[in-house]
Amino acid sequence: MDLSAWDFKQNKRIKLDGEWEFYWNQLLTPEDFKAAKPVPSTYMQVPSRWNGKAINGNRLPAHGSATYRMVLRNVPIHGIFALKKTNIRFSSSVYVAGRKLFEDGQPSTNAAAYRPGNVPQTGLFASDQNDIEIIVQVANYDYINAGIPISIYFGDQATMIDDQQKSMAREFSILAILSILSFIYFICFAATIIYNMRDYTLLLSGIICLLFSLYHGLIGERPLLYFLSGIPFEVLYKIKDMSSIAAFIVVALFFYQVHKNMISFKLTLAVTVVLGSFLVMVPFLSIHVYTRIHSYIIVFYELMLVWLLLKAAILYVRSPDTSRFKSLLLFMSILTINLYSLDTILFALSIKENLSLGQLYIIVFNIIMIFLIVLRFFEAYHTIDAMKDRLLQLDKMKDDFLSNTSHELKTPLNAIVNITDSLLKGVEGPVNEKQAQNLAIVTGSGRRLTHLVNELLDYSKMKYGDITLVMSSVDLKASVDSVIRVHQYLLGVNKFPL
């Protein structure tokens, strides 16, 4: 690559895209090129994958090793430069200006000595030469694609470090936002447990945010590696894939909880079983085995997301005006998770160089989920408020009924008491002792019923605060005597047995 026309002031960072020398099944060092210039097997486009490319009529497999080489000629300035590699599958060593700049994993010509590693790295080097040689050793015995699928960047030290810091800050911001949202959801779910009103959509939302934060911490610039540096790359790579699959299981459960017309219980169960089975297998399989199955799993959950999108669209079209806004939010949430999934697939296939758009989609998805959950709470509040008004109305109807009934009962009760009292006094003629006892019981019962009716009326007045309470003593002997006389009559005996 001739850099004599490079306008350093306008563009301090360039992509090293183009045709590189390509040496198949050889891991060459700068000393190999100083001793005698090897003949390249072919020229390989960077960025691209080598599997499927032809050398002498033979298609290259994904598993193997190779060396890439290019020379930057007529570098217009001298000083400290930086070289950044983002994605080289699936192990690499980079030599610049005759020395090793960095190594990721351990490339080897045989699978036994090979160790995987694929982490974005930036290396600094000083050069006062007009020509700079760059050699990249690559080996892959795990992944389904191999080579240098993402551009390698070369530029000024300050510019490259500034770009690295901005990229890392963006990655940490996404990680922090998702983690904080997850924490808030878990707190809200704990509050619903305290008040015995468990809302599992809050728990599922918290798990979704937690899984996606873990996933985003292990892709792109992989910011979580700053805290997990002691864990082998293969373990972290499996955790990354497992968190992604688990997130889509929880997404299916979330939409089942939000609206059961969108995804049936049987489909939710099928998604859980299929993705869950793969999730259980991943820790026990090697990367090169489970990545072959992973492609079919991706197709499966993509079909699920498309189905959810179709159901959400139908639901929106058929929804009444009162629930149209909620249906629109459901459709938008599923649309954003579809776009997010598509963006991550394009990134995994190295069609895209970064996940900035996908990160935006996942943030928008979580914002819409917050709207949906808040809307559910407001709907519950509106329902409770309407039920309260209805209960108040029924309570007033009950008070009116008691008041009217009490007034209607007072008239016949007064007549009964007055008539029996007059009979007891002998106004209509003398009565014998037995009749006098019976009339006394009727009179006492009538008066007690009258007092009960008056108490019902007093209860209605007490509710509205327009009653005056008068404290008075109670004749306990008379009350006990009244109770004994009533039970004596009910038992049909002349004398109450003591």
Task: Please give the structure tokens belonging to residue 214.
Answer: 């873990």
Confidence of residue 493 (pLDDT cuts 50, 70, 90): low
For the chain, what's the residue count?
Answer: 498
- At residue 139, the pLDDT reads 95
Mean pLDDT within 352-364: 85
CB 337 within 8 A of CB 365: yes
Q: Is 314 helix (H, G, I), strand (E, B) or coil?
A: helix
Q: What is the pLDDT of residue 495?
A: 53
Task: Specify the pTM.
Answer: 0.75
Q: Going by DSSP bridges, is the β-strand pair 153-156/79-85 parallel, antiparallel, or unpaired? A: antiparallel
Q: How far is CA 387 from CA 170, 326, 381, 383, 393, in A?
A: 48, 22, 10, 6, 10
Calpha distance 489→486 (Å, rounded) = 5
Q: What is the DSSP string of 227-275?
A: T-TTS-HHHHHHHHHHHHHHHHHHHHHHHHHH-TTTS-HHHHHHHHHHH
Average pLDDT over residues 374-401: 80
As a 3-state breakdown, the chain gives helix, strand, coil percent values, each rounded to 5, of: 60, 15, 25
**Mean pLDDT confidence for 345-361:** 82
- Tally Cβ neighbours within 10 Å of residue 371: 15
> Over pLDDT 70: what percentage of the chain?
96
pLDDT at 85 over 60: yes
pLDDT higher at 103 or 447? 103
Counting residues of the chain whose pLDDT is more than 90, the rounded percentage is: 35
Q: Under a CB-based contact definition with an 8 Å cutoff, are residues 55 and 66 in contact? A: no
Beta strand pairing call for 54-55 and 153-156: unpaired
Residue 498 predicted with pLDDT over 50: no
36 falls in which pLDDT band (50, 70, 90)?
confident
Residues 312-337: pLDDT tens digits?
A: 999 888 888 877 888 888 899 999 99
Question: Is residue 496 pLDDT above 60, yes or no?
Answer: no
Distance from C-alpha of 372 to C-alpha of 363, rounded to nearest angstrom: 14
What six digits make up the tokens of 48? 């691209």
> Higher-confidence residue: 33 or 9?
33
The whole-number average pLDDT for the span 384-407 is 79
Please give the pLDDT value at position 100.
93
Q: What is the DSSP string of 358-390?
A: HHHHHHHHHHHHHHHHHHHHHHHHHHHHHHHHH
Contact between 208 and 250 (Cβ < 8 Å): yes
Q: pLDDT category, 83, cuts 50, 70, 90?
A: very high
Which residues lie below 8 Å from residue 17, measured CB to CB, with a gap of 6+? Answer: 46, 47, 151
Which two tokens mark 481?
Answer: 């005597």
**More confident call, 355 vs 149:** 149
CA dihedral sign of residues 340, 278, 171, 125: negative
Residue 486 contacts residue 445 (beta carbons within 8 Å): yes
Residue 184, CA distances (Å) to 94, 188, 254, 452 in order: 44, 6, 17, 55
What whole-number distance in Å separates Cα of residue 199 and Cα of residue 191?
A: 10
d(Cα 146, Cα 436) in Å, to the nearest integer?
Answer: 113
Q: Which of 194, 228, 230 is CA-nearest to residue 214?
A: 228
Q: How confident is the model at residue 18 (pLDDT cuts 50, 70, 90)?
A: very high
Among 43-52, 129-138, 162-171, 375-384, whose mean pLDDT is lowest? 375-384
Distance, CA of 72 to CA of 130 (rounded, Å): 8
* Average pLDDT over every residue of 411-434: 75
In this structure, of 63-67, 244-248, 347-351, the range with the lowest mean pLDDT score is 347-351
Give the least confident one: 76-90, 336-350, 371-385.
371-385
- Residue 427: pLDDT band with limits 50, 70, 90: low
| Bridge partners of residue 134, in order along the sequence | 70, 96
What type of residue sits at position 192? T
Q: How confident is the model at residue 399 (pLDDT cuts 50, 70, 90)?
A: confident
Provide the mean pLDDT of the chain: 86
Reported as a pLDDT band with limits 50, 70 and 90, residue 339 is very high
